Structure 1
Amino acid sequence: MSRCVIITSYHSAGRLDYQNVCEDDFVICADGGYAHAISGGISPHIVIGDFDSYPENKLSEECGAHCKIIRLAVEKDDTDTMICLKYGIDQGFDQFLIIGGLGGRLDHTIANLQTLSYAIDCKKKLWILDGKNKATMIESGAIEIAKQENTKISLFSFTETCSGVSIHGVKYPLHETILNNSFPLGVSNEFEEEYARIENKKGKLLIILSQD
């Protein structure tokens, strides 16, 4: 099955992020993410939100029969982005990309990182991409990440601890290390090989790529 792409309302970058969207991706817009999608030349399949950042009547006129609209109550427990993720999971997708949501309001950024954690609980693969930052999370597994120029790679324990953490192909390798969530030992590493290989045996390991 193809990948599910979720476009959020807040973006810290321009249209370059949309180069990561493929023709066979299923695209969901979270509320005002619709405006970003259209400006990037992307026609979404569905728009979900409480429409506090984009007028619903204007959306209905512009969408027509091209995409589905799901209206949410303003007062709710889940964020619009989380509801979009849950919708994609219900449709059977296993791989997700969220575009936007890693800048602007700090509370929204943390909420989106918690959305990463939720995806892990559901055994789904999720990357968040927003301008100069990209994030994913693994639990008791391994991942290889291709070298990116002028980019730092950082590891953080999202749970209280992560144990058995190893990273190779970087300037500061780790082997079977314990990371905890109160000391940033894994911040700001550098690629030295074409791929960085990261392994984690226990806990939720947050992986962040940040351009200088």
Structure 2
Amino acid sequence: MKRCIIITAYLKKSIRQSLRLHDDDFIICADGGYELAKKEGIVPHIVIGDFDSGNAPEKDSETVIHVPVEKDDTDTLLCLKYGIEKGFHVFGIVGGIGGRLDHTIANLQALSYGCDLGKYVVLLNGNNVVTMLNPGTIQIQKRKGYKLSLFSYTEYCKNVTIKGVKYPLTNALLDHSFPIGVSNEILEEEATLSFDKGKLLVMFSRDN
């Protein structure tokens, strides 16, 4: 399945350290993300932003969308909405974690926005891989050197069960004010996760 990759303006590691690009990826740069892509020789299909965090590329108007500085949506959310309008279902948002806290939270909310529309959106920055899930059952592949954490993004996530981990849960209630799901470990090649109500923030993290 073709992916839509969104490159944000803040990223400590390189783009290619954060994810492996595919030849058929559709690449959008959010504002100053264009400068990061340019440094790595990555040519985006389109650049969207108000360009308050970087210079607008010298390209045809068909490949650059200028938006006002004063607006409701962040540049990253505008990129996500653009990709959704183009029919993509799988998104990788590169960067956007660990800089300004307000931007990090806004990007987590972008995950929630995509989740509400049934899209699979992942936020990556080299040390973290974050996604948002609706109720169901999934297999989670182990990532060597990473800790797995589960957080309730809604007030509650009900009947959370996770097997194949160091600290299993069975029909647990996770709420948004107690971090019981932090820093778990997958013991084998994959773990099984299920829950039946709420939105769950799933995060792989490692130290620098």
For structure 2, the residue ranges without an aligned partner over 5 or more in a row are none
Q: Deviations over 1:86-134 (max 9, x none)?
A: 0000001111110000111111000000000000111101111012011
Matches within 5 A, 1:42-121: 42-56=42-56, 59-60=57-58, 63=59, 68-121=63-116
What is the percent sequence identity of the aligned residues?
54
* Equivalent position SS for 2:44: coil
Question: Is the Cα–Cα contact under 8 Å of residues 9 and 33 in structure 1 kept in the other structure?
Answer: yes
How many residue pairs were aligned? 207
Equivalents in 2 of 1:135, 1:16: separation in Å?
17
Question: Which residue does 1:24 correspond to in 2?
Answer: 24
SS at match of 2:160: strand
Q: Deviations over 1:47-80 (max 9, x none)?
A: 0000011122xx11xx458x70000000000000
Deviations 1:132-185 (Å, cap 9, x if unpaired)? 011001111222221111110000000000001111111001111110001000
2:150 maps to which residue? Answer: 155
- Kindly indicate which of the two structures has a greater share of residues assigned to strand: 1
CA gap 1:6/1:184 in 2 versus in 1, 3 angstroms: same
Asked whether the 8 Å contact 2:150–2:201 carries over to 1, the reply is: yes
Offset from partner CA, 1:18-69 (integer Å, 9 cap, x none) = 542111010000001011112222110000000011122xx11xx458x700
Q: Which residue of 2 aligns with 1:202?
A: 197
TM-score by length of 2: 0.95
Q: Do the aligned partners of 1:17 and 1:99 also contact (CA within 8 Å) in 2? A: no
Partners of 1:162 and 1:202 within 8 A in 2 = yes
| Distance across 1 between alignment mates of 2:19 and 2:68 | 32
Residue 196 of structure 1 deviates from its aligned partner by: 1.7
TM-score, normalization by structure 1? 0.93
For the pair 1:168 / 2:174, whether they are aligned, the reply is no
Range 175-184 or range 144-153, more displaced: 144-153
Quote the Cα distance in structure 1 between the aligned partners of 2:14 and 2:48.
Answer: 22
1: CA distance between counterparts of 2:46 and 2:92? 15
Does residue 1:134 correspond to 2:129, yes or no?
yes
Structure 1 distance, partners of 2:105, 2:42, is 27
Structure 1 gap ranges (5+)? none
